[in-house]
């Protein structure tokens, strides 16, 4: 039974790696500072919305030094169309101040140090590290969580435990799998009305409500 399960996992991994080996985040950024801001803003918000917000934000505050001295009211105004903009505005300003005061203006590329910054949790830290540094990490957002459960890769009730399950199954290619699961979940394995006819892992799907193909 275990050998069959391992074979199944290997097949899923192979399919996703082949399809998404060159995939990158859909967030628009030019440097580490912009990437970190984008990922913080993207929590419970679409990448498309973040990409509409950030050009004006980065024009006004192009680095951690300028953002650390920013007016909270001004930042809120710039990102007001983003979900939870009040908290996010406070967090990104606080994050910038921490980077300036504790890290001499250099955003750390260490998981624990990144997580010490305001607005940065496990998922955000991992996304930054796998995207910017190519680290062999898995980050679990809503898309990765949904895809992992529908494919029977995890039964965990929270992202942290789901990440542990995925890390146990996949020892390599985690960054590619993360990007693949995100894009697959965003465009094919949607939360509502998944595009089952377009699904390339339909035979592996354990979702009770998947469409019956004829």
Q: Give the residue numbers marked as catalytic.
A: 123, 141
Q: How large is the C-alpha radius of gyration of the chain?
A: 19
What the block records as the tokens of 209 is 């409500």
Which spans in 21-150 are helix H?
32-41, 47-60, 64-68, 72-78, 85-103, 111-115, 122-132, 142-150
Phi, psi of 194 (to 5 degrees): -60, 150
What is residue 6's DSSP assignment? H
What the block records as the tokens of 161 is 């435990």
Contact 115, 160 (CB under 8 A): no
In this structure, the dihedral spanned by the alpha carbons of residues 47, 51, 56 and 59, taken in order and rounded to 10 degrees, is: 110
Closest CA to 126 of 162, 86, 80: 162
């Amino acid at each position: 039974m275990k050998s069959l399960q391992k074979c199944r996992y290997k097949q899923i991994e192979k399919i996703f790696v082949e399809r998404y080996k060159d995939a990158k985040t859909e967030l628009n950024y030019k440097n580490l500072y912009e990437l970190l801001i984008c990922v913080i803003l993207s929590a419970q918000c679409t990448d498309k919305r973040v990409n509409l917000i950030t050009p004006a934000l980065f024009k006004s505050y192009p680095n951690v030094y300028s953002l650390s001295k920013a007016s909270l009211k001004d930042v809120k105004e710039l990102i007001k169309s983003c979900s939870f903009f009040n908290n996010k505005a406070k967090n990104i300003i606080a994050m910038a101040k921490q980077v300036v005061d504790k890290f001499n203006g250099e955003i750390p590329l260490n998981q624990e140090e990144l997580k010490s910054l305001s607005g940065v949790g496990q998922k955000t830290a991992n996304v930054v590290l796998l995207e910017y540094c190519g680290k062999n990490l898995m980050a679990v957002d809503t898309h990765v969580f949904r895809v992992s459960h529908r494919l029977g890769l995890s039964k965990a009730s929270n992202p942290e435990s789901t990440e542990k399950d995925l890390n146990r199954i996949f020892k390599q290619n985690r960054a590619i799998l993360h990007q693949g699961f995100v894009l697959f979940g965003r465009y094919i394995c949607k939360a509502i009305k998944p595009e089952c006819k377009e699904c390339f892992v339909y035979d592996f799907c354990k979702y009770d409500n998947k469409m019956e193909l004829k």
